[in-house]
Amino acid sequence: MLRSLVTSSGTALLLTLSGDILAQEAVPTGPPNAPDQTPAFEGQTRAPAISDAPTLHSERVAEGLEHPWSLVFLDSDTALVSERPGRLRAVDLHEGTLSAPIEGLPEIDARGQGGLLDISLDPDFASNRHVYFSYAEPRGDGTNGTSVARGTLNQDHTRLDDVEVIFRQTPAWDSTRHFGSRLVWDDQDRLYVTLGERSLPEPRQLAQDLDTHLGKVVRILEDGSVPDENPFADGEEGLPEIWSYGHRNIQGAALHPQTGKLWTIEHGPRGGDELNIPEAGKNYGWPVITYGEDYDGSPIGDGITAHDGMEQPVYYWDPVIAPGDMAFYQGERFPGWNGNLVIASLSPGGLVRLTLDGERVDGEQRLLEELGRVRDVDEGPDGALWLLTDSSDGALIRVTPEDS
């Protein structure tokens, strides 16, 4: 006979009558796309399911957004939201009203997965009002690349002034896929930028090439210059902006609130979405190693999952969750969630919640799948979770526990 035990982190264990652990129930997701692959260590995938699912209340605060991509709070009353077709809007968080598109943005290539992407406030925004944004920049002859620009937001949120590009991904490519990109500041005001490898078979190989920015995390200062502590800062072994390499398409990133380390989440192909903690100068393997397979069912490269000199993901998913952005929850509004990682999911949709034991995942939960494609998730000033749904009629949604 079996009985169930719920651990302090909410994960479910199956026990025999003698108390021995017999099995750990994972989130039901169906079979993996690559069933012959095995994880490199215990708990690297299919962590035990968290069983203490809260009842959540979701409120559609603002509607009518076209493929919204990123959300940032100016204060407890107003947020900025980017729309992939190339619009930036201010949102009244109480009334749910959208401003007219903020003026001053540069030309943006909004084909395919391109467009206006992440937005971030300068750490000293209160005094300088600098807003940073990443976007697909047209580079001529059908080519494009991820660029980062900054501008000064005026007091009535109608215009960005003095807009300048501070970083350009090179080389440009004729592709409409895999731009990245998230912008994350560390505690020393250095800006991490995540960059896709442009998807196509030829440019994806450049994720391993340190003379390009494709498939990389880069780290720059507020004006685009290079921190002296970057691993290739002297430019002799690689481009000086590079922090880590061998990535596919990172669309989620957050700084750990206790350790200060950057955590990222990237799209795999069919299977193989990865959670990583990128370290200086290290190689994360794409496209040499992956826990996924190509979309036609064929292996990527030699079909291997490990190689000398290449880092393993902290955690991976097969089947995928198609990750958007992610956030470490730091509030108290969701009891027991402080320190948990909350991830936006495009497929199957909703949110993925992970509990952590240090730098290992020890529990997983799926929530709000009925919302469909969620592109961004952030903790608001009120301790609620705020989401953006990615559709032609997208919404800004506020999520709280039902009993709060």
Task: Name the residues annotated as catalytic.
Answer: 178
**Side-chain half-sphere CA neighbours of 100 within 13 A:** 5
Place of tokens 């027991």: 336
Q: Could you please report the per-residue DSSP string of 212-246? A: S-TTEEEEE-TTSPPPTTSTTTTSSSS-TTEEEE-
Indicate the residue type of 17.
L
* DSSP alpha helix (H) spans, 2-48: none
Tell me how crowded residue 4 is: count the other CB atoms within 10 A of its CB.
10
Query: And the tokens for 243?
Result: 């922090």
Q: Is residue 84 within 8 Å of residue 373, measured between CB atoms?
A: no
Beta pairing partners, 2: 16
Which residue spans within 17-115 are E strands per DSSP?
A: 21-24, 56-65, 68-73, 78-83, 87-92
Q: What values do phi and psi take at 205, rounded to 5? A: -65, -25
**Side-chain half-sphere CA neighbours of 392 within 13 A:** 0
Q: Is residue 168 within 8 Å of residue 137, measured between CB atoms?
A: yes
Task: Pick the closest to residue 166 from 137, 129, 209 (CA basis).
Answer: 137
The whole-angstrom separation of Cα 357 and Cα 43 is: 11
Q: Is residue 278 within 8 Å of residue 284, measured between CB atoms?
A: yes
